[in-house]
Amino acid sequence: MNTFYKAFCESLRAASNYNSVDQVRPVVILWTDKERQWESLLSRLQADLPLLVLGAFDPATRTGPAIWLRCMVERILPEADWLDTETPIIYLPGVSKQELRAVEDAPKLLQPLAELQYRGVLWTQKNGKDWTIAAFLQSADKGLNIETSGDSATREAMQRALLKLADEPIEELRKDAPLTASRFNALLNPDQVRCLLLWMDAPAKQRAALNAAEWSAFRADCKQHYNFDPETEGEITAATLLGDRQHAWNAVWNRYAEAPLRYSYLPDLLRRAKPAKSDGMFYIAASWPQENEAGETAVRNALLALDNAPHSAVQNGLVKLEKEHGERRDWVWGELGHAPLATILPALLTLAEMTATALGGTSPQDIAAAYIADGWKADASVLEALAGVESGEDVAAVKSVIRTLYLPWLQSSAEAFQNCLLYTSDAADE
């Protein structure tokens, strides 16, 4: 698979190609980079190429001043251990071709290298300009010939993402052309929605987990796609936007709702971010934990109010509660277990339906058959309802409904069973 990095290395090596009929082999490849765009690749390149770097003396990284570089090119130092078939490359960060050409006006520290341009070659574009990342991507002449957006955001993004860009297959880049800032930012932030949710859930932790380039890409993505800057606006503003669910934030909310347990601190953040006004065209009650808690309180009070009411009134009251609060089971708060009363409403409705008529029959066998057919659902719904609540207030509210519906049914069913037994016993005595 041909990648950006492989093509880049091949281009660098190819700069030393020459016609042996009328030329001599160049002694060095000079690589000027006034904007220092390629510096992040140096450590990797030095492992694969005979690369020397102009800078403070550090033989371990083949970096040194101009005089030392001249000695390395002439191979009079033991560190010059590349193969005879290879042509050394001198990388000149912060130096342009024009500065190197102007021998007399060049800085003194650079002048020892000026002569090498006549015995070596310069790795530059056809027009003589330094190779930039954008130029290498776009150029049809010794570049990759891939269309790329020319805006500053795209140029900044490709610079940040250079280390990741290096391993991108060229065919994938061509397929995604024209390349934009989003495409490059995605290399550093491949799952922008998850990264945003993780940052909202734990801002300091997520910030520490991202290096400078990744953080810059994350900020750029947030500003471009979510109209929000995490560095200047903070997580409370982000939570307000998340709860509003407008435009691209709706997809972020849906992602959160798919797995809310992954983001344990987001509920508290949303609580703090809730708008003061709970109305308006764009207000979504389901986004805010306070709305769910208010709903739970309303159900609790309504259940307590049904204590000792007639069966039909209790059943109608439960139907009304289900209509008003059943949807909260599908809210994210239901998924998190924060809507227990809304969750157990179906069990209470089943209990009301099953206890509307006592078990009956002309024999114990008839009653047993009725219990096996449907009667067991009353017992099961009681157990389900009680298992679904934990707090003392919720348990008390649920028990009040159970007493009102279940105890009369139990008593009537038990009396019916006793009467059948007595009738059977009397019949046997006769």
Who contacts 225 (Cβ-Cβ below 8 Å, separation ≥6)? 182, 192, 248
| Strand 63-64 relative to strand 29-33, pairing | unpaired
3-state DSSP helix/strand/coil % of the chain, to nearest 5: 60, 5, 35
- Taking the complete model, does pTM exceed 0.85, yes or no? no
Q: For the segment 409-423, what is each residue's pLDDT rounded down to a tens digit? A: 999 988 888 888 776
Q: Which one-letter DSSP state was computed for residue 35?
A: T
**Could you tell me if 130 and 35 are in contact, meaning their C-beta atoms sit under 8 angstroms apart?**
yes
For the chain of 430 residues, list the mean pLDDT of each consecutive stretch of 10. 93 88 86 95 94 94 94 93 93 89 72 89 92 96 94 95 96 95 94 96 95 94 95 96 96 96 96 86 92 98 97 97 97 96 98 92 85 94 97 97 96 86 58
The Cα–Cα gap between 92 and 263 comes to 47
pLDDT at 164: 95
pLDDT at 56: 94
pLDDT at 255: 96
Burial class (CB in 10 A: 0-12, 13-18, 19+), 1: exposed
Beta bridge partners of 179: 148
pLDDT at 385: 97
Both tokens of 4, joined, read: 């950006």
**Helices and strands (DSSP H and E) totals, the chain:** 24, 5
pLDDT at 106: 67
Taken in order 127, 133, 138, 143, is the CA torsion positive or negative? positive
Residue with tokens 């805006």: 151
pLDDT at 430: 52
Q: Taking the domains of the chain in order of start, what are their residue ranges? A: 4-131, 189-287, 289-429
